[in-house]
Amino acid sequence: MPWDEWEQLKAETAARQSPSMRLNQVAPAPGGGYSEDLKTDKRAWVKAGEGVSGLKEGVTTALTKLETGQAGLGDGQGMQSAAAQKDLYDSWKKYLGDVSGRCEALGGLLRKSGSDLAKTDETVEQDIAVLAKRYTDTEAVGGQAKEK
């Protein structure tokens, strides 16, 4: 099939589609920049933020159990397995601390989004991008596969 014929078929198909078939965009509202059909519930945003922030409690509990299990090991010097365990512990302690911080920060952002519904999508995306950059995952410690 020649390229021109393909383009013509696509144009004809697009012309036959009704506006309700366009799923990737909302029809513009007459005379304004918003749609009367677009509604949000501030309480839903606040509740979502509280739920995400609430995850911090479970992470803090896990971190406490990790610290308790690590007690008595000492500095890990003199024994290879103890040193490896300390490295692993330090890695997980940092990771869980970051997860806890991420839960609190994202929960706060969601709660605030519910109150500040005047923010643009781009502003919220930028706020989330800042969190993603701030809370990058930790590098793997030990246990790296050796090449054969």
Instruction: Convert the pLDDT of each residue in 57-75 to its tens digit.
Output: 888 898 888 888 877 766 6
The two three-digit tokens of residue 7, written as one number: 């383009």
The per-residue pLDDT for 43 is 83
Report yes or no on 89 lying in a domain.
Answer: yes
Task: State the DSSP code for 57.
Answer: H
Q: Answer whether residue 55 is part of any domain.
A: yes
122 within a domain of the structure (yes/no) = yes
Task: Please say if the pLDDT value at position 132 is more than 70.
Answer: yes
Task: With respect to residue 128, please indicate whether it lies within any of the assigned structural domains.
Answer: yes
Contact 50, 111 (CB under 8 A): yes
Q: Which of 123, 126, 121, 103 is nearest to 40 (CA)?
A: 121
Residue 22 lies in a domain: no
Domain that holds residue 91: 42-134
Residue 10 lies in a domain: no
Between these two residues, 3 and 93, which has the higher pLDDT value? 93
Integer Cα distance of 37 and 43 in angstroms: 18
Query: Which has the closest alpha carbon to 46: 106, 115, 127, 122?
Result: 115
d(CA 4, CA 125) in angstroms, rounded, equals: 40
Q: Is residue 54 part of a domain?
A: yes
In a domain, 26, yes or no: no
By CB atoms closer than 10 A (0-12, 13-18, 19+), residue 103 is: buried
Distance between CA atoms of 11 and 5, rounded to whole angstroms? 10
Number of domain units in the chain: 1
